[in-house]
Amino acid sequence: MMQAAGIGAAVVQPLAWGAQADAERTWRAFLAWLATIPPNDNPGSLLRDYRAHVLAGGASAAEADGQIKVVMEMMRTREDGWQLIFNKIYAASNPGFSVKPNGLLMSAVEGRKPGRALDVGMGQGRNSVFLAIRGWDVTGFDVSDEGISVARKNAAAAGVAIRAVQKSNSNFDYGTAQWDLVVITYEPFPVTDQAYVQRVWNSLRVGGLLVVESFASDKGAAGRKPVDIDPGELLRAVFAADFRIVRFEDVEGVSDWSLDRTRLARMVAEKR
C-alpha cells in the first residue's frame, strides 16, 4: 500500500517501515524473555543477561550489540517494558537499591509546612512513606503493580496512610494547582521534555516544590543509559516553565539506585 504513494515514498518509506518492524520484533523478543526470567534485584544486569541470552541463541556479538542498542532506544520511548522490568525487580527478595528516603528530598522538605505531595513513579514508596510520616498528604503512582503492593505494605507497617495508584505516567492525571510538592526520583521516562515539565508546573500550587534526582549524561553521549537525563536539558526546561531554581547540581555521587558513584542531576525548583 505504501508503494502507491509515489516514487519517493516507494523507495524511502518501505525502508523506514522495515526498520520499524525490525525494532518492534526485537523489542517484543526482549519483553517475551523478560516475562520468563526469575525476579532480579539488580536492574543494571538485565541488559547484560539479555545479551548473553541472545548470544546463546546463536547471534553474533555484532547482532547481539545491535539488538541491545534497539532495546535501549525503545526503553526511552516505551512504557510497556518498565512494568515488566520493575515487577521483576520488586519481586526479588533483596533490593539492590536504597530503601531509605532520598537525601535531596529530605533536605528539600526540612522545615517546610507539610501539604499535598505527589510521588511520581513511587516504586516501593520509600519517599511516600517518609513524607507521610512527616505529615504530608501523599499520593503516588507507578506502572509496577508489584511496587504499588510493596508501597502499600510499607505504609501500613509504618502506620501511615498513602494513596498508591497503579497507573502509567501517560495515564495519570496530574491535575491543575493540586500539589505542594512533586517528587521525581530516578524516573526512566523523559522528565526533561518541555511539555512534561510544563505539565508538572501546571499541577503545582504557587510556592510548590519540584524535586528531581536522576542518573545523568549528555544527550548523544556514547554509552548513554536509557534512564539518564541531560542536566542542561533539565535546567532549560525548568527555566522555560518559569520555575525558580532553588538548587541545581550536576555532580558525581552515589546513586540510590545503582549504589555506585556515577553522574547525577539534582534539582529543587519552586513554582513562582
Ligand X SMILES: C[S@@+](CC[C@H](N)C(=O)[O-])C[C@H]1O[C@@H](n2cnc3c(N)ncnc32)[C@H](O)[C@@H]1O
Candidates 3-11, 117-125, 173-181, 263-271; binding stretch for ligand X (CB under 6 A): 117-125
Q: Pick the piece of the chain touching ligand X (CB under 6 A) from 57-65, 150-158, 181-189, 239-247.
A: 181-189
Residue with Cβ nearer ligand X (67 or 154):
154
Q: Which is nearer to ligand X, 63 or 193 (CB)?
A: 193
- Does 82 participate in binding ligand X (rule CB under 6 A)? yes
101 interacts with ligand X by CB under 6 A: no
**Residue 154 engages ligand X in binding (rule: CB under 6 A):** no
Q: Is 126 an interacting residue with respect to ligand X (CB under 6 A)? A: yes
First to last CA, the chain: 52
Closer to ligand X at the Cβ: 147 or 208?
147
Beta bridge partners of 211: 183, 268
The rounded distance, in Å, linking the Cα atoms of 129 and 159 is 9
Instruction: Indicate the residue among 86 and 243 with the shorter CB distance to ligand X.
Output: 86
Stretch that binds ligand X, among 25-33, 136-144, 228-236, 263-271 (CB under 6 A): 136-144
Q: How far is the CB of 18 from ligand X (least distance, A)?
A: 28
Residue 257 interacting with ligand X (CB under 6 A): yes
User: Nearest to residue 180, comparing CAs of 203, 208, 199, 160?
Assistant: 208
Q: How wide is the angle at C-alpha 258 spanned by C-alphas 269 and 214, nearest 5°?
A: 15
Evaluate whether 141 touches 166 at the Cβ level (below 8 Å): yes
Name the residue with cell 511520581.
120
Sequence letter at residue 215: F
Which residue do the cell numbers 495519570 mark?
Answer: 172
Asked if 228 and 217 count as a contact pair (C-beta separation under 8 A), the reply is: yes
- Helix and strand tally (H, E) in the chain? 9, 7
Beta-carbon-side half-sphere exposure of residue 167 (alpha carbons within 13 Å):
14
Does 179 engage in binding with ligand X (CB under 6 A)? no
Restricted to residues 11-70, the positions that interact with ligand X (CB under 6 A) are: none
Which residue lies nearer to ligand X by CB, 50 or 86? 86
Contacting ligand X (CB under 6 A), which of 65, 73, 79, 249? 79
Contact 51, 68 (CB under 8 A): yes
∠ CA 217-96-54, nearest 5°, is 70
Give yes or no for residue 169 binding ligand X (CB under 6 A). yes
Minimum distance between the CB of residue 3 and ligand X, rounded to whole angstroms? 36
DSSP helix/strand/coil, 214: strand
Q: Tell whether residue 230 is a contact of ligand X (CB under 6 A).
A: no
Three cell numbers, residue 45: 544486569
> Judged by CB under 6 A, does residue 228 bind ligand X?
no
Q: Determine which residue in the list 27, 86, 174, 196 makes contact with ligand X, applying CB under 6 A.
A: 86
List of residues contacting ligand X (CB under 6 A): 79, 82, 86, 121-123, 126, 142-144, 147, 168-169, 185-189, 256-257
